[in-house]
Amino acid sequence: MTKGFLIFAQNNPDIDYCKLAVYCAKRIKLYMDLPVSIVTDSPEWLKESQPDADTIFDKIIVFYSNTTQTKKFNDGSMFSKKLEWKNLSRVDAYELTPYDQTIVLDSDYIVSSDFLEKLFNSNNDIMMFRNSYDLAQWRDTTSFEYVSKSIPFYWATVLYFTKSKEAKLLFMLVKLIRDNWQYYRSLYKIDSAMYRNDYAFSLAIHIINGNVDFNYFGTIPGTKFYTLDKDLLIEVKDSTLKFLVEKEKYHGEYIGTQTTSVDVHVMNKYSIARIIA
Amino acid sequence: MDERLEKALQTSNFLASLNLIRKTTFEEFKQNLVFYHSGCSFLADLSFLTQIQTLKQSEFTAIVLDINNIPCYIDDLESFYQNCLSTYKLAVEEYHNKYQNIKKQRNIRNLIDL
């Protein structure tokens, strides 16, 4: 059984996802020493800007998707920009992965432990995080608990799957939801007009579960730590990450905090790029 | 700004940071309690340890439910218990050390070691 990580990196004019993917891959190698492949629509840029890409990545998979959305990207609580967001090809991971056991990771996921390596020993065919922990702690996290009133929220940030009938079925269903997003969002009364992988996977899991809160697929044990793009990553020193998180009721002010030896989903891509530079 | 007001603001920021770091450290501790056995995942907290200890008093093998409610056959309860115990000990020792270190700090600069 082959096992490895798969990272999607589809650049927009402002954010270099290839750079983030290389950083993410280096940390995976450091903590788990497992193969990492990249799926990108900018192979020339990847090789030009990251000369060591060929040695870092097990495979560079070129995949073009002409469908994009627009999303507001924040850099702390005082700056934001509307940019292209190419998040629609995540559902192709099942066909694209070169591994029997795969963990699909967001490029803004900062690995600081070997926690994910243990997933490869699991009996489950599909696993995603359901529990999460916002480092700011005061924000309303209801939208990360339920997609709509009764549909549990699953994070597509870290997605473990094996080449299996169950996983194939899930990915087929997610593809169907993606291609008919407006229909499914009105059927399940989801407010967001924007397609999100988290929503599509959560809906698919809910449908497979027979539209009840049951757990046919496994959840990743433990918690996914995250910071929103309104927070700032200010330093990475080995497995310690230091942050300034948005302060409650004081727009533009922050509180210092840190994590040690846990992986963190850092949604502020600008701040990761600054750390890498 | 009035000196007393500035001091009060600094203290409030320090306390906010202290609280956040304490909470996060506790979450890190819980994350470290996760362990795997025969493809199933478990949380080595005290309540789970007690359950296993109770089982192993009268049994050598047992079926235990994992985090995802998957029944897992344990063919050697004693070694499973030891595995669980060592996971708990490691996690709680790390948590204790981190907590002691946090407790000693008196300003934000030292707290997040900037």
pLDDT digits (tens, 9 = 90+) for B22-31: 999 999 999 9
Contact flag A137-B23 (C-beta cutoff 8 Å): yes
Task: Give the one of B27, B34, B40 whose C-beta lies nearest to A133's C-beta.
Answer: B27
- Specify whether the CB–CB gap between A132 and A155 falls below 8 A: yes
Inter-chain residue contact B28 with A261, CB threshold 8 Å: yes
Positions in chain A short of pLDDT 70: none
Number of domains in chain A: 1
CB burial string A217-250: b at 16+ within 10 A, e below: bbbbbbbbbbbbbbbbbbebeebebbbbbbbeee
Q: How sure is the predictor about B20, in pLDDT bands with cuts at 50, 70 and 90? A: very high
Q: How confident is the model at residue B113 (pLDDT cuts 50, 70, 90)?
A: low
Single pTM value for the model: 0.94
Residue from A114, A119, A235, A258 whose CB has the most chain B CBs within 10 Å, to mutate: A258
The tokens describing A178, both together, are 């993606």
> Are the Cβ atoms of A223 and B70 closer than 8 angstroms?
no
ipTM (interface predicted TM): 0.89
Predicted local confidence at residue A66, as pLDDT:
74
Please list, in sequence order, all residues whose beta carbon lies within 8 angstroms of the beta carbon of residue A95, skipping any fewer than 6 positions away: none
Q: What pLDDT was estimated at residue B98?
A: 93
Residue B104's pLDDT is 85
Q: How far is CA A236 from CA A28, A147, B23, B62, B114, in A?
A: 15, 32, 20, 44, 11
For residue B68, give the nearest of A219, A225, A242 by CB distance. A219
User: For chain B, how many structural domains are there in total?
Assistant: 1
Range of the structural domain that residue A89 is part of: 3-276
Asked if the Cβ–Cβ distance from A219 to B43 is below 8 Å, we say: no
CB–CB contact A215 B69 (8 Å)? yes
> Using an 8 Å Cβ cutoff, are A235 and A257 in contact?
no
Average pLDDT value over all residues in chain A: 94
pLDDT at B114: 45
More confident residue, B109 or A109: A109
Rounded-to-integer distance, Cα A89 and Cα A10, Å: 9
- CATH (domain of A39): 3.90.550
pLDDT band (50, 70, 90) for residue B107 = confident
Q: Taking 80 as the threshold, does the pLDDT of residue B93 lie above it? A: yes
Dump strand ranges (E) for chain B. 34-37, 40-43, 62-65, 71-74
* CA–CA distance, B44 with A30 (Å, rounded to integer): 26
Residues A127-153: pLDDT tens digits?
999 999 999 999 999 999 999 888 999
